[in-house]
Structure 1
Amino acid sequence: MMESNIFNAIGMAGLDPAILFLVLLVLLIGAFVIIILQGKRLKNLERKYSKFMQGKEAESLEEEIVGLFHDNRMIRSENEKNRKDIININKRLNNSFQKIGLEKYDAFSQNGGKLSFALCMLDENDNGFLLNSVHNSDGMNYSYSKEIKAGISDVELSKDEKRALDKALESTNR
């Protein structure tokens, strides 16, 4: 057996150099296996990269990516514009007449048909007007209107006008 000052210094004086040689050989073979496996992975990655770049030059791919970013900015700004437009439309829609009630009736029960009518038009907040057109047997037509605020008239309504108002108030529930 061979004596070594180095083995003595590190506390391995009784170690057989053949065992140390075998351990180092196994580690070296393991390192080569890892290098070969990493080489295969690198080849696969290079093949995927080549396939990805196939038919495209790197410059055209960069232009494509820059174009997508530009398109994305345009879409975002258009989306913001649409959002503002929708908010504006909703504000205007609240003040437009959305609820309508029409009641046709025979004002004087003359069997001449239902030529008189009460028309109620309300906005989102139940504000609007009621238009009443009364037709009599002489062929005369009288029209008048009543203001409606929060679904209530400040003037008393006839039964036909009340039905027109009720129809308008219920028109969004249909």
Structure 2
Amino acid sequence: MENILNIINEYSSFIIIGLLIITILLFIVVISLYSSVNKLEKKYRRLMRGSNNKNLEELIASKLEEIDKSMKASEEALNKYEDLKEEMKSCVNKIAIMRYKAFEDVGSDLSFSIAILDSYNDGIILTGIYSRQDSRTYAKPVDKGISRYELSEEETYVLNEAINK
């Protein structure tokens, strides 16, 4: 035991310096932890601000319910979009027109051919032939890009124009 006391007395200055260094290091650690706690407390105060004494869990649950409602509304909108997209395919969306001179004795391009088709290339071709004596209009049905009636050169041209749109 005396041996230990002699060693402690002999190295007491080193032991005191070591303990002083450890104390300073612990003091620095305490200051940094205090700083971290202050930052965390500021974040907590900011998080709790404006909650009007509501439980934070209730607030989060209400926001999650709003998100679920928004997701359902979004899915409904996407479904309606797909339905409308399918429905629009049967609407007229391809049109081509050509004006031309059917007869040499007519002064201007008064005759015409119009192809009116949907996305499935179903529709009609309207042709108006103008001459000095009379004017005639013809309608020819088109099914999947093909007419069962013989088409003139101009009608074939407008049909191909409309199909390629």
Which of the numbers 140, 156, 163 marks the counterpart of 2:150?
Answer: 156
- 1:9-54 deviations in whole A, cap 9, x for unaligned? xxxx967552345433432332233123312332343244335544
Q: CA deviation at 1:89?
A: 1.7
1:147–1:154 contact (8 Å) kept in structure 2:
yes
* Percent identity between the two aligned chains: 25
User: Which runs of structure 2 are paired with 1:21-100 in the superposition (5 Å)?
Assistant: 21-54=16-49, 56-59=51-54, 64-100=59-95
Aligned to 1:169: 163
Name segments (4+ residues, structure 1) moved above 6 Å.
Answer: none
User: Which runs of structure 2 are paired with 1:112-123 in the superposition (5 Å)?
Assistant: 114-123=109-118
Unmatched segments (≥5 aa) in structure 2: none
Unmatched segments (≥5 aa) in structure 1: 8-12
Corresponding residue pairs, total: 163
Supply the distance in 2 between the matched residues of 1:163 and 1:32 (Cα, whole angstroms). Answer: 92
Whichever residue aligns with residue 33 of structure 2, its letter is Q
TM-score scaled to structure 1, two decimals? 0.69
1:115–1:135 contact (8 Å) kept in structure 2:
yes
- 1:130-152 deviations in whole A, cap 9, x for unaligned? 23333454435342314242x34
Q: CA deviation at 1:158?
A: 0.8
